[in-house]
Amino acid sequence: MNISVRPFQESDYPEVAVIYQQGIDTGIATFEVQAPTYGDWDLRFHKSCRLVAVLDNKVIGWAALSPVSKRQVYSGVAEVTLYVSPLHQGKQVGFRLLSALIDASEDAGFWTLTAHIFPQNKASLALHQKLGFRILGVHEKIARRNGNWQDNTFLERRSAKIY
């Protein structure tokens, strides 16, 4: 399989939105209930760290970083978002995207990456831990999704390159 990872382009957003909605529909990927418009998505994520995985000129996954705070002291801390098309899960797409995102984040000066993952999402938890994220704890009943309280596992990865 000839999968490439490259920077996101605005023209990728329709495919990104479909993959995002597929993740939303699983019920274990996010508290969101609908993929946002491009304008809202664009405002949410850092411009410097947006990647897509491509196979045969089709986007099959995406990853991006969002700020954890507007305060300058946290400018090097970002939250990871990563989604892979259901047709391509279990094929190392997530590993390649997250690896590339980690590299891009360090090139952009980020020293800490965080992730909030539903405990039921075992594959995502395992992927993040494989790439150096450690579990800090569980936010119990942090928010509701479809009227039900959900927990979120909180993970962190510190860069060995940036202090």
Residue 49 lies in a domain: yes
**pLDDT for res 163:** 63
Residue 98 lies in a domain: yes
pLDDT over 70, % of the chain:
99
Is there a contact between 103 and 58 (Cβ–Cβ < 8 Å)? no
For residue 31 the two structure tokens come to 């508290």
157 has which bridge partners? Answer: 113
CATH number at residue 29: 3.40.630.30
DSSP per-residue string spanning 60-89: EEEEEEEES-SSGGGTTEEEEEEEE-GGGT
pLDDT band at 26 (very low <50, low <70, confident <90, very high): confident
Residue 128 lies in a domain: no
Residue 132 lies in a domain: no
Residue 85 lies in a domain: yes
pLDDT band at 91 (very low <50, low <70, confident <90, very high): very high
**Domain coverage including residue 25:** 4-114
Residue 27 has pLDDT above 90, yes or no: no
**pLDDT for res 146:** 81
Say how many C-beta atoms besides its own lie within 10 A of residue 136's C-beta: 11
The rounded mean pLDDT for the chain is: 94
Average pLDDT (87-104) is 96
pLDDT band at 12 (very low <50, low <70, confident <90, very high): very high
Per the structure, the count of domains in the chain is: 1
Residue 124 lies in a domain: no
Residue 136 lies in a domain: no
Average pLDDT (112-117) is 96
**pLDDT for res 1:** 67
Residue 32 has pLDDT above 90, yes or no: no
Residue 99 has pLDDT above 70, yes or no: yes
